[in-house]
Amino acid sequence: MIILPAIDLYEGKAVRLLQGDYAKQQHYGDPLAAAKRYEDAGATHVHLVDLGAARSGTFDKATLILVQQIISTTNLMVEIGGGIRAQEDLDRFYDVGVWRCVLGTAAVRNLEFAHEMIETYHDHVMIGIDVKDGYVASSGWTEKETMTAEHFGRVLKQFGLQECIYTDISKDGMLSGVNLAGALALVESTQLKVIVSGGVRDIQDIEAILAKQDEGLSGVVIGKALYEGQLSLTDVFATVRGKEA
């Protein structure tokens, strides 16, 4: 199971939004320092989201520089999403050593582009299925599309995608527990492996996801619970090792 500590970026700072609301931000300081803390706690991967670029759709060169700093000063495998709208955006990140790019808005609004990127980059491309009231959300979660999460997932599976990130926006940043039922329903309807994101609160959430690995839950993204100190990354890795031993 893959553990992805998350760092959401906005104007050069590590932040968290409540339910995707840009007006409800909490600031957590230097993203590079956060990445180093995660590595010190045992992380091998990190999940970055450029919130500004996600909303504007404009590639942010400052984010690229930050990503370069993380890659050059840590051994973390970097996954990044937010505002990636064209192949040249992916290539900019791959050129500096990014492990995986996450597509969201560009994928749901341009299925042909999603298909092409999956065929070109294979498992170095991840699709984020961000869900609001059962439908896919886009543009930094500020807009709701007409496509359901399940339909979108089935299309992506036909394109050759094997795994996605499922985020229940109503849970994100709320520390209210994950939507395990929603994640498992997506697995069942699409046959995709699913990385769960949104609402991770405590070690019980991690244990619940671990218990469903055989049913298709392949990982977890953890954000606010780490920033707020409600969940120790060291404990997370100890729990995973114990369950998988």
Q: How far apart are CA 24 and CA 33, in angstroms?
A: 23
Q: How far apart are CA 46 and CA 79, in angstroms?
A: 6
The neighbouring-strand residues paired with 25 are 17
Catalytic hit among 50, 60, 89, 130: 130
Q: Is 8 an active-site residue?
A: yes
Q: How far apart are CA 133 and CA 124, in angstroms?
A: 29
Catalytic hit among 8, 50, 168, 172: 8
Strands (E), 19-124: 21-27, 45-50, 77-81, 100-103
Task: Classify residue 214 by its DSSP letter.
Answer: G
Cβ burial 102-124 (10 Å sphere, 16+ → b, else e): bbbbbbbbeeeebbebbeebeeb
Q: Is 172 an active-site residue?
A: no
Q: How far apart are CA 78 and CA 70, in angstroms?
A: 8
Active-site amino acid positions: 8, 130
